[in-house]
Amino acid sequence: MKRLALLFSIFFLSLQNKSVVACAVCFGDPNSKMTQGMNGAIFVLLGFIGFLLVSFGVFFLNFRSRSKRFQSVMKSPANRETLQEGYN
């Protein structure tokens, strides 16, 4: 019960505090240097994440195509016998 009362009091006190305002990026001028810099940083980070996701996709697609090529080679009997002779 004490925790609930504490949570309610913190919640209501946070509603009464008028000194908490947004930063210049969230609340200020959209043409300010700070806002433009923050937007640029966000786009750079999104570019890095996009590059990494595409790289992982290409990596796994490469494994998939190599696996299909290997399976097609192993299906033909002549190739299978040649490969098995090399191991014996």
Q: What is the pLDDT along the chain (88 residues), one digit of tens a residue?
A: 788 888 878 887 777 656 656 665 566 677 888 888 888 999 999 999 999 999 999 999 999 999 888 887 777 766 666 666 655 5
Burial of 65 (0-12, 13-18, 19+ CB in 10 A): exposed
CA gap 64, 71 in Å, rounded? 11
* pLDDT value, residue 75: 75
* pLDDT value, residue 34: 81
* pLDDT value, residue 33: 86
* pLDDT value, residue 49: 97
Report which of 44, 23, 18 is spatially closest to residue 35, judged by C-alpha positions.
Answer: 23
